[in-house]
Amino acid sequence: MPRIRGWSQLILVVAVLIGVPMFINSAYHLHVLIMIGIYAILAAGLNLIVGYAGQLSIAHAAFFGVGAYTAAVLVMKVGISFWLALPLAGIMAGVLAYLIGLPAFRTSGIFLSLVTMGFGGLAQFVFHNARPLTGGPDGITGIPFPSAISIGSINIQFGMKQVYFVLVWAVLFFLYYFVRNLAHSRIGEAFVAVREDEDLARALGINVMGNKLLALVLSAIFGGVAGGLYAHYMTYVSSEIFTIDKAIQLLAMVIVGGAGTVWGPLVGAALLTLLPEVMRFSEDISMIVYGLVVVMVVIFMPNGITGLYEQIRSRIVHRPPVQSGMTVERDG
Amino acid sequence: MNTIETFLQYVLNGLVIGSGYTLLALGLSLIFAVMKTVNFAHGELYMLGAYVTYTMIESFHIPFLVALPMSMIILAAFGGLLERFVFRPLANDKDRHKEMTNQFIVSLGLVIFFQYAASLIWGPDPQKMTTPFSGIVLRVGEVTITFERLLIVIMAVVLILGLYFLIQKTTLGMAMRAVALDRDTANLMGVKVSKVSTLSFSIGTALAAAAGGLMGPVFMVAPGMGAALIMKAFVVIILGGLGSVFGTIAGGLLLGITESLVGAYWLNQYTDPIGFLLIIVLLMVKPTGLFGKVERHA
């Protein structure tokens, strides 16, 4: 993908944040865009641990759930403001990720996937049965929209889909900016070193365990924030949402879009959120296509959709593609 | 009904379920041992095996005892095609870790694909599979077992003996063991690695189909039936140790009986988290799994 630099990126972001709510009035279209935003935040977080640090975690739906329940409970039962609850939802998910990561990273490779899947399954079991806190199988209903903000005489209400779109996508752009900077920092490079060759990274003095934990905690914070945004948008959460299946779908978004790239998760989240919407006539057929897309992408586009440009170019220019670990590491 | 007989009844129930777990896990273990493929869609092949058996009985009125082996053959062919056209293109001799990861992700895609394909073809609702043995109940004292359940145990014994003979006494089995031990060396020694891989995948899939066809009449046949069991199959493999037929049998029966007893006496049928907890604890105790050797080279 050709690079878009500096100012033009900022202008693009502002154009999306102002243009979309101005020109799109359909509640349905806005709803889909908000869901894409929430999934893109989730996928961007998962990309940190899966794409950059190369650890195939299948616990991401659990962090999503912890964020959603934390935000809902803090606002409804403790009575604090949404604007405080949202970062706390992220922090809570991060703490949980640390506690899960400590034992889980004793394993690696496919076994880490199984262990994190185990934790994901346990988390859903807890969501489903911790009735006093999570409402058990009934979930939590009647979660309020974020409290209104007054700037001068303008009162911003978040019940409107246009406004919620701006909120979600502003958070999304901020977090993607964070990922982009992280990827170029020493930390991001340490993640990639761990992904490429753990033993070599250790020999070079990189704290492998510490970097894996950091990547997992950061990814969980993204997930927790997405959960908070989700809970206060849908006004309803239930354990049905935070399943292992959901974790697999999130993983699919990262892989299809392009793991280890900055914008890949957004592309993957957009494509795999739109797909069931476009094929609303049959859930079965849309999910069959969903599964097929995942299989096809892994077989024919090992670097995901955003890696396609590089893949095609390297074929034409007869230069070997920059193969590495899971994917090609490129600028965003 | 006195307490000892109740206890024995639960053990027997666990033994039946455990036999089903064992069949499912043996196929998974065989495919992993030979190809190092973690096929998460193995549960869906089990589900397809059940549906194919179901369709032959309900739509074509083929007797159950004929339909079951036919379903195994059909799924074996299907498994071979999957290996050839989905998993083999991802083989990567330079980077085995990448190969494993990609094959794992593809199998997750297949899970979604097969589940919804089954839902489209057979409908999302669970179906009851009837066999000529439905309603036959054997009784020893107060302990009872339906013939359909007993058949799971009998067929498991037959198939396991067959598999053991195949692995230990035939040329194909020897080739499979060679590839499992070291793919590259086996290749150098003239073993047709790709052929052995395809056949192993076929045999593993056939075992899954057998498990599906046998468990189908006892439980319901539904698109999600495989997803519910796959975690348990992984627990069994890790519990029993890779490639060890006896380990897998022991693991399968142990898990089945433990679940049955814990569900009956303690957790009130909340047995789902047991599998998750076991997999976490087992992998914690042996960090690289009981097949850690593979990981180190990857």
Q: Residues with Cβ < 8 Å from B8, sequence gap 6 or more?
A: B143
First to last CA, chain B: 55
**Amino acid occupying residue A9:** Q
Please check whether residue A264 is in contact with residue A47, taking contact to mean a CB–CB distance below 8 angstroms.
yes
Closest CB to B284: pick one of A106, A109, A288. Answer: A106
- DSSP type of residue B264: I
**What's the pLDDT at A331?**
45
Task: Enter the pTM of the model.
Answer: 0.88
Please check whether residue A225 is in contact with residue A89, taking contact to mean a CB–CB distance below 8 angstroms.
yes
**What's the pLDDT at B136?**
85
Q: Which residues of A touch B92 (CB under 8 A)?
A: none
Please check whether residue B251 is in contact with residue B25, taking contact to mean a CB–CB distance below 8 angstroms.
yes
Strand partners, A150: A155
Cβ-defined contact of A122 to B277 (cutoff 8 Å):
yes
Element at B25 (helix H, strand E): helix B3-35
Cβ-defined contact of A302 to B116 (cutoff 8 Å):
no
> A7 vs chain B: nearest CA distance in angstroms?
37
CA dist., res. A73 & res. B53, Å (int): 48
> A101 vs chain B: nearest CA distance in angstroms?
12
Q: How confident is the model at residue A148 (pLDDT cuts 50, 70, 90)?
A: confident
Q: How confident is the model at residue A321 (pLDDT cuts 50, 70, 90)?
A: low
| Interface predicted TM-score (ipTM) | 0.86
Cα B190 to Cα B90, B107, B172, B196: the distances in Å are 22, 29, 13, 12
CA dist., res. B242 & res. B271, Å (int): 24
Cα A165 to Cα A26, A35, A222: the distances in Å are 12, 9, 17
Q: How confident is the model at residue A329 (pLDDT cuts 50, 70, 90)?
A: very low
Cβ-defined contact of B276 to A119 (cutoff 8 Å):
yes
Residues belonging to chain A with any Cβ–Cβ distance to chain B shorter than 8 Å: 56, 103-104, 106-111, 113-115, 117-119, 121-122, 125, 245, 248-249, 251-252, 255, 282-285, 287-288, 290-295, 298-299, 302, 325-326
**What's the pLDDT at A320?**
56
Closest CB to B113: pick one of A110, A113, A291. Answer: A291
Closest CB to A107: pick one of B105, B117, B288. Answer: B288
Q: Which residues of A touch B231 (CB under 8 A)?
A: 117-118, 121
Cβ-defined contact of A294 to B105 (cutoff 8 Å):
yes
Percent of chain A scoring above 90 in pLDDT? 62
**What's the pLDDT at B171?**
93
Closest CB to B276: pick one of A121, A293, A302. Answer: A121
Please check whether residue A228 is in contact with residue A70, taking contact to mean a CB–CB distance below 8 angstroms.
yes
Would you state the structure tokens that stand for residue B157, as one six-digit string? 């014994």
Q: Residues with Cβ < 8 Å from B227, sequence gap 6 or more?
A: A245, B43, B44, B111, B115
Does A2 have pLDDT greater than 80?
A: no
Q: Residues with Cβ < 8 Å from B181, sequence gap 6 or more?
A: none
Does A265 have pLDDT greater than 70?
A: yes
First to last CA, chain A: 9
Q: CA nearest B232 in A: which residue?
A: A118
Closest CA to B25 of B233, B240, B254: B233
> B179 vs chain A: nearest CA distance in angstroms?
20
Closest CB to B113: pick one of A113, A125, A292. Answer: A292
Strand partners, A154: A151
CA dist., res. A164 & res. B288, Å (int): 45
What is the tens place of the pLDDT at every residue in A66-118? 999 999 999 999 999 999 999 999 999 999 999 999 999 988 888 889 889 99
Closest CA to A256 of B166, B109, B228: B109
Q: Which class for A286: exposed (0-12), middle (13-18), buried (19 or more C-beta within 10 A)?
A: middle
Q: Phi first, then psi: what are they for A327, rounded to 5°?
A: -150, 175
CA dist., res. A137 & res. A176, Å (int): 34
Residue holding tokens 């085995």? B96
**What's the pLDDT at B67?**
95
Closest CB to B109: pick one of A125, A252, A285. Answer: A252
Of A186-190, A234-238, A239-243, B293-297, least confident by mean pLDDT is B293-297
Cβ-defined contact of B112 to A287 (cutoff 8 Å):
yes
CA dist., res. B111 & res. B117, Å (int): 10
- DSSP type of residue A147: P
Probe site for chain A from B97, B102, B271, B295 (most A CB atoms < 10 A): B97
Closest CB to A298: pick one of B97, B109, B276. Answer: B109
Neighbouring C-beta atoms of residue A328, cutoff 10 Å: 22
Instruction: Mark out the alpha helices in chain A (DSSP H runs).
Output: 6-23, 27-47, 60-73, 82-104, 109-129, 131-134, 161-184, 186-196, 198-203, 208-234, 244-257, 264-278, 283-300, 308-317
Q: What is the mean pLDDT of each run of 10 residues along chain B (298 residues)?
A: 84 93 94 90 96 95 94 97 94 81 92 95 92 83 87 94 93 92 90 93 96 92 90 85 80 89 76 79 67 41
What is the tens place of the pLDDT at every residue in A40-57? 999 999 999 999 999 999
Cβ-defined contact of B280 to A107 (cutoff 8 Å):
no
CA dist., res. B34 & res. B175, Å (int): 10
**What's the pLDDT at A328?**
44
Please check whether residue B42 is in contact with residue B161, taking contact to mean a CB–CB distance below 8 angstroms.
no
Please check whether residue A52 is in contact with residue A215, taking contact to mean a CB–CB distance below 8 angstroms.
yes
Q: Which residues of A touch B33 (CB under 8 A)?
A: none
Closest CA to B252 of B239, B268, B267, B265: B239
A-contacting residues in B 71-130 (Cβ below 8 Å): 86, 89-90, 97-98, 100-102, 104-106, 108-117, 119-120, 124
Cβ-defined contact of A121 to B272 (cutoff 8 Å):
yes
